[in-house]
Each structure stands twice: as C-alpha cells, then as structure tokens.
Amino acid sequence: MLVRFADAVRNAMANRGLSMRATAKEAHFDVAYLSRVLNGRQDPSATLALALDSVLGTDGALASLLEQESEERASDAAEHIRTSLAPLLHHDREFGADHVVDAAVQVWKSAVRDMPMDDRSYVAATAEAAEVAGWLLHEACRPDAARAALLEALMLAQTARDQGMEHFCLDLLAMAAVTAERPGEAMALADRLLTVPRVPHRVALMARVRQARALAITGDLTRASAVMERANGALQDSGSDRDPMWTWWIDEAEIAVHQGMLLVDAGDAPAALPHLQSGLDRSLHSSPRNSRRKSYASVLAEAAALAGAWRDTESIIVDHLGPLPYVTTTRTQLRIRRMLRVIDRDGPSWLKDTAHSLLPQ
C-alpha cells in the first residue's frame, strides 16, 4: 500500500470538502477504483494522480509523491529479492545446490509475477533471481529448466540495462552449452562476449575458457590448448575496476580445473591429472567452500579412474570425497557415480571395497 499517497489524497479531499464519490466524478474515474486505491487494495496509476492534482488543486504534489513512494517501494522490493537469495547462495557454497534449487525457482517466479517492467532496479533484481535459479538448476542437472531461467535472466538484464548481469548470463549459457556438448552454441556465445566493445578483462578471460572447452569437444585439441593458454596467461594480469562483481571466483584454481577438464574432454585423462590436482590444491588454500572442494575432487577422481591411476583415485576418495557426504549437488554425484562404474569395471577389488564403503550410492 502507498500509505503516504493515500493519506495525502484524503487530506486534500478534506481540505476541499469533497467526498470520495464527488472526487472520483470530477476526476472522471470510477469511485470503486478510487476506493481500492485509498484502502490499499490497488495501486494508483500516474494518470489518476495527475487527475487528482487537477481536481484537488495540489499542483502536481500527488503525482510527485506517487513517483517517490513507488520508487521507494520498488527499491525495498528489489532488496527483498536479493535478501531472499543470500541464504540460498550460502547453502549452495557450503552444502550444494540440491536442497535449495526449488526455493530459488520460487523466488524467481514470485519476482516475475510482481514485476513492474518500468522499474529498472526491480527488473535488475529479478534478473539476478533468474540467474541464481539458472545456476542452481544447472548444478542440479535440470538442463532445460536451467537454460530457460538463464535466457529469461539475459532478457531481463538487457531490459534493465545491467551489462554486468548480461555478461554473466551469456557466460553461464556458454557453460551450459559446453556441459551439454553443444560446442557450436558455446562458441557463438563466447564470440558474442568477446565482440563487446571494451569487454571487461575477466569476462573476456572466461569467454576464452568456454571457447577452449568447446574446441576440445570438437576434437581440435591444438586450438583448444592455445586458447586456454591465452586465458591462463591473461589471468596473471591484474583485474580492473571494470570487472563485474561476479568474476570474483575466477582464480588460478578455476582455470587449472578447466585446463584439466579440457584434456578429459579430448580423451587424455592422464595428461589432465596434474592440472586437476593443482586446481584442487589451490582451492583448499584460497576458498573454504565445501561444495567447490567436492566438485573439484569429483572431477579429479573421475579423471584418475579413467587414467587407471588407482592409488590416486583412492587418495582422493579418502581425503576429499568421503569426508563430505553432506554436500549434495546432483552434478557432483553424477561424476562420482561415473567414477564408481569405471572402478567396478576396471579397478582392483581393494579399491572397489573402499569406494563403495565411503561414497553414497
């Protein structure tokens, strides 16, 4: 309810000695509509505010108050959306996506339902809600729903003219395309980012990572390695104040893991192991996030199993995967199940016993 607006209208009506019915008649609005506005059951339009200013002689004060109060309410609503997302993101960092993904979708859908398209701050917050839902849906291995959420987030970010969020959505869409093994789509999205005038440093870096992963899927390991090396070299340059906030997680650990995953994509698991181990080791020093640790460890464990490095596989299970049974993200669990299938098919019996006793089935 726009309380100050309603109170100001009532005071102006009293000063003029006009009833609600008489005011509505002179303003050429239905009295039932005016009643709903003054009792908080419907928002007033700008046209109503201008008409009331004319009838009540308030010289534009009501229209100005409506604009001010609407902006304040929208700002509060946008902050409420972000406040609702914060504990979901914290849970994802510590325990994984699976238990909070539906709540994130609910926040996003609720924000869309109530969204005034002419309020950029609210639209930007709704874009953020859609992006968070898309990320968590991706981690929960619900690819169609994730893609739909990220596409809506992209559209809303463009509407709000929030370029940082627009770049983030394009990056996540490219990531999802790599995961789904759609290299052409991933390359097109990465190219779109790289052709942005004065693209921020770390946005371009991640676009090249997506390019490299897509090239590896096509079998072009030479070009993939060259592009990844360029991205890795760019990481050594300092970031700039033009880099959006979402790029905080792009660090040496993340790039090392992508270098390893590139080699796994290309079918060379043994060559991937040093990069993946480096990424996991770096993450233990740079980030306390349990979900990140388990994700990196699951990638390394699967690669070690594919490479037939059984002792390494055992160490990763014992040191990193077994101690974190409460971290539940479907994508990580799928990697673990794939690793278990490799162990069951090719591994020694002692490793089968260890793996199945420590890891959730």
Check which CATH number belongs to the domain holding 307 and give it: 1.25.40
Q: Give the gyration radius of the chain's Cα atoms.
A: 27
Task: State pLDDT tens for residues 109-161.
Answer: 999 987 877 788 899 999 999 999 999 999 999 999 999 999 999 999 999 99
Residue 287 has pLDDT above 70, yes or no: no
Q: What is the pLDDT of residue 160?
A: 93
For residues 2-28, give the mean pLDDT. 90
Q: What is the pLDDT of residues 260-276, one digit of tens each?
A: 999 999 899 999 999 99
% of the chain surpassing 70 pLDDT: 96
Task: Assess contact for 258 and 209: CB atoms under 8 A.
Answer: yes
274 lies in some domain: yes
- pLDDT tens digit sequence for 40-52: 888 888 899 999 9
Please check the confidence at residue 340 and state whether its pLDDT lies above 60: yes
Who has greater pLDDT, 65 or 2? Answer: 65
Distance, CA of 234 to chain centre: 24
Asked if 96 and 328 count as a contact pair (C-beta separation under 8 A), the reply is yes
Non-local CB neighbours of 39 within 8 Å, separated by 6+ positions? 6
Q: What's the rounded Cα separation, in Å, for the pair 63 and 47?
A: 8
- CA gap 329, 30 in Å, rounded: 54
pLDDT in tens, 191-240: 999 999 988 888 999 999 999 999 999 999 999 999 999 988 888 765 66
In a domain, 110, yes or no: no
pTM above 0.85, yes or no: no
Q: Which residues contact 118 (CB under 8 A, 6 or more apart)?
A: none
What pLDDT is attached to residue 76?
80
Q: Residue 307: what are its φ and ψ, rounded to 5°?
A: -85, -5
Which of 59, 84, 99 is the endpoint of a domain?
59
Cα torsion 291, 296, 299, 302 to 10°: value is -90
Domain presence at residue 39: yes
Assess whether pLDDT exceeds 80 at residue 73. Answer: no
177 with 214: CB under 8 angstroms? yes
Last residue of a domain, one of 39, 59, 79: 59
For the chain, the domain total comes to: 2
Instruction: State the pLDDT at residue 94.
Output: 87
Is 177 among the domain residues? Answer: no
Contact 307, 280 (CB under 8 A): no
Residues of the domain holding 46:
3-59
Residue located via tokens 């996506």: 97
Give yes or no for residue 22 having a pLDDT over 90.
yes
Q: Is residue 216 part of a domain?
A: no
Is 320 inside a domain boundary? Answer: yes
Least confident of 70-79, 250-259, 320-329, 352-361: 70-79
Supply the CATH number for residue 22's domain: 1.10.260.40
Mean pLDDT of the 241-267 span:
88
Residue 268 belongs to some domain of the structure: yes
For residues 291 and 136, the model is more confident at: 136
Which of these three, 12, 36, 59, is where a domain ends? 59
Please check whether residue 333 is in contact with residue 361, taking contact to mean a CB–CB distance below 8 angstroms.
no
Q: What is the mean pLDDT of the chain?
A: 91
Rounded Cα distance between 166 and 152, Å, is: 11
Q: Is residue 269 part of a domain?
A: yes
